[in-house]
Amino acid sequence: MNQNEALEEITRLSEELNRHNYLYYVESQPEISDYDFDMLLEKLQKLEIQFPEFASENSPTKRVGGDITKKFESVKHRYPMMSLSNTYSEEDISDWFNRIAKLVEGKIEYVCELKYDGVAIGIQYVDGKLTQAVTRGDGTQGENVTNNVKTIRTIPLSLNGDFPADFEIRGEIFFPLKNFLALNNQRREDGEAEFANPRNTASGTLKMQDSKVVAERGLDCFLYGVYGTGNIRPGHYEMVEKVADWGFKIPKNENRYIEKVDSLEGVMEFIHYWNEERKNLPFEIDGIVIKVNDYYLQEELGFTAKSPRWAIAYKFKAERVETILESVQYQVGRTGAITPVANLKPVQLGGTTVKRASLHNADQIEKLDLHLLDSVYVEKGGEIIPKIVGVNLAERQSNARKIEFISTCPECATELVRTEGEAQHYCPNETGCPTQMKGKLEHFISRKAMNIDGLGAETVDALFEKGLVRNCADLYDLTFHQVVELERMADKSANNLIAGVEASKVIPFERVLFGLGIRFVGETVAKKLAFALKNIDAIMQSNFDGLIAIDEIGDKIAMSIIAYFEDPKSIELINRLKDKGLQFEVEEKAVASNKFEGMAFVVSGVFNAFSRDELKEVIVSNGGKNVGSISAKTTFVVAGDKMGPAKLQKATDLGVRILTEDEFIELLNN
């Protein structure tokens, strides 16, 4: 394929992928399967690696992330992002409505919108291309989170139709509840503290350095505020409808996410409707926003020092109930983390019956000063997880017994430990605590790890109770005759289980590593670790400095990995799994050329044509080697923007040649 053919094909694939992305994520009307979409994306990625000069900043391949942002620069807003005045009182809404009526003659149209509980964002488009995304910050300036925003699939990278040459659109980035729950489930499995609520998690996710992790979390966005278009429509409602034609995901009238009304009764009906229905939404809202629709009237009404006079927010009160704390029980997680759970007298909250609430850790119990049979106040934290927020001390019995956190494991009676700087207590008896042992087995066979067909939690329990398995290596010693004797296990099911265990031996190394259940080594960290060090032996021999040099691996993760492989029982387990034929090294990809053979590269900084991961892949596919630190053996340092001055100085001192991104592309092409 020559360059003209490559450019034509890259353009065609980009347009096709953008269209399918819009149909799937915005219109919910996909035309092709996920597999076909992934195949098109893979084809585009390969072409962009082969012809990097044609890789666009807004290519659909940017959706998967990979850019590393060490520091988010401050950017001044072209149009200040003012806060709305807000109230919890319907009387205040009525007063605001009447003030507007006195200031403006004639009939006034109002727009009622959901107040999304997320992160406000302003996105600039120039010539139909996404060029910059900035958070609210202090309203005058915010942080540039463009690389991370590009991974959100409902935000278009390029537009269609009759859009202005340069404008800004604003909206709210939020965490869909389904994705938030899945993330917390994964963190619980990995032995990490769960996130408290979707809003704060969305905010933290947007500030993550690795955009690949942002892409995997599945943030979403509604866009609705348009600036710099010259009011090409007469009002806010009409403008929101218009930007949908350009490819934006907007709140739609058919869902009642946005509605135009002309009376106070219409405003109140919208508020009352969503005060009840908000519990059925797939995302969080914390109120309703009411705006004067007409742009001319908005200008006439103007602003106060802090907020527009033509808009107001009504905030819902957090639903709170009072009930009795009957007891506290302690759950043991797969990694030994101890989580206290409050058992409550059943009470209705947010449309569901609440019987239990997480107490998180010992500090939370101490902070609340909980006693048995206390009358406690319960809210739904982030509208999802019930939590105790206070105690009605007037109702406390004089002889109430203070709740003391346990000192030994409720499953195996081992004395608990608490590492300095951590909130949770742990049971250190990893290989002897039944709950931990079964939890590790269930994790090992899970879909994202070994995905063993025919094995589930119930079967793991049965195998464990029979004494047939104690760890994941025991699964590979199972025979048909042992399995078929389990209760409710027919011949076909037993054969499927044995076949599933055998088939898992081809599962790639990064998933095997994840399946081992090393504390803090989740799915993403396992991939980073596997692809950086290539095999299990290199990981076992790595020291602290070598581990923290790998993307996404910090002090806590590095120490956990080292501790895991210092345990002789872990080494014994690995050796048994090796003997059974599991994959313990990364399968090397085919090499496109050998032009970089014998060359060692250090890649550092932020790049335009490539993400860092893409650049490293190009090096490997052309026979080169990526190394983590600069030494006399380094052939080239590929230096992007914001590369650390210490690295540059070291390369200079050692006489290592430093390449810009353009010089690297020239080296690749020649």
Do 348 and 485 belong to one domain?
A: no
Q: Say what the pLDDT of residue 65 is.
A: 65
Tokens read off for 352: 């569901």
pLDDT mean across residues, the chain: 89
Report yes or no on 249 lying in a domain: yes
Residue 313's CB is within 10 A of a number of other CB atoms, namely 20
Report yes or no on 420 lying in a domain: no
Do 264 and 327 belong to one domain?
A: no
pLDDT exceeds 60 at position 383: no
3-state SS string over 470-524?
Answer: CCHHHHHHCCHHHHHCCCCCCHHHHHHHHHHHHHHHHCCHHHHHHHCCCCCCCHH
Q: Closest by alpha carbon to 637, among 614, 663, 613, 611? A: 663
Do 472 and 339 belong to one domain?
A: no
pLDDT tens, residue by residue, 454-508: 898 899 999 999 999 999 999 999 999 999 999 889 999 999 999 999 999 999 9
Q: Say what the pLDDT of residue 589 is.
A: 63
CATH number at residue 377: 2.40.50.140
Q: Say what the pLDDT of residue 270 is.
A: 97
Do 213 and 277 belong to one domain?
A: yes
Pick from 19-28, 121-130, 542-551, 557-566: least confident? 19-28
Do 153 and 99 belong to one domain?
A: yes
What's the N-to-C CA distance of the chain in angstroms? 17
Do 105 and 221 belong to one domain?
A: yes
Report yes or no on 586 lying in a domain: no
The residue to which tokens 């070994």 are assigned = 450
Q: Say what the pLDDT of residue 98 is.
A: 93
Looking at 453, 473, 506, the residue that finishes a domain is 506
Q: Which active-site residues does the annotation give?
A: 115
Report yes or no on 210 lying in a domain: yes
Looking at 20, 43, 64, the residue that finishes a domain is 64
pLDDT tens, residue by residue, 295-346: 999 988 988 867 899 999 999 887 789 999 999 999 998 889 999 999 999 9
> Helix, strand, or coil here: 386?
strand
pLDDT exceeds 90 at position 643: no
pLDDT tens, residue by residue, 565-602: 999 999 999 999 999 999 999 876 666 788 898 899 99
Number of folded domains that form the chain: 6
CA 284 vs CA 207, 281, 609: distances in Å: 20, 7, 37
Do 252 and 366 belong to one domain?
A: no
22 pLDDT band, cuts 50/70/90, is confident
Report yes or no on 410 lying in a domain: no
Looking at 64, 86, 117, the residue that finishes a domain is 64
Q: What are the percentages of helix, strand and coil residues in the chain, rounded to 5?
A: 40, 20, 40
Report yes or no on 371 lying in a domain: yes
Do 516 and 475 belong to one domain?
A: no
Expressed as residue numbers, the domain containing 43 is 3-64
Q: Do the Cβ atoms of 122 and 77 come closer than 8 Å?
A: yes
Q: Say what the pLDDT of residue 293 is.
A: 95
CA distance 429 to 434: 9
Amino acid at the residue 512: V
Mean pLDDT value of segment 203-228: 90
Percent of the chain past pLDDT 90, that is, above it, reads 56
Tokens read off for 135: 């958070």
Phi, psi for 486 (deg, rounded to 5): -70, 150
The pairing of strands 375-381 and 352-358 is: unpaired
Report yes or no on 336 lying in a domain: yes
Do 98 and 231 belong to one domain?
A: yes
At residue 57's C-alpha, the angle toward residues 54 and 63, to 5°, is 110
CATH number at residue 558: 1.10.150.20
CATH number at residue 258: 3.30.470.30
> Helix, strand, or coil here: 235?
strand
Report yes or no on 419 lying in a domain: no
Do 118 and 163 belong to one domain?
A: yes
Do 210 and 288 belong to one domain?
A: yes
pLDDT exceeds 90 at position 418: yes
pLDDT exceeds 70 at position 652: yes
CATH number at residue 654: 3.40.50.10190
pTM of this structure: 0.60
Q: Closest by alpha carbon to 126, among 58, 52, 25? A: 58
Do 178 and 250 belong to one domain?
A: yes
pLDDT exceeds 90 at position 194: no
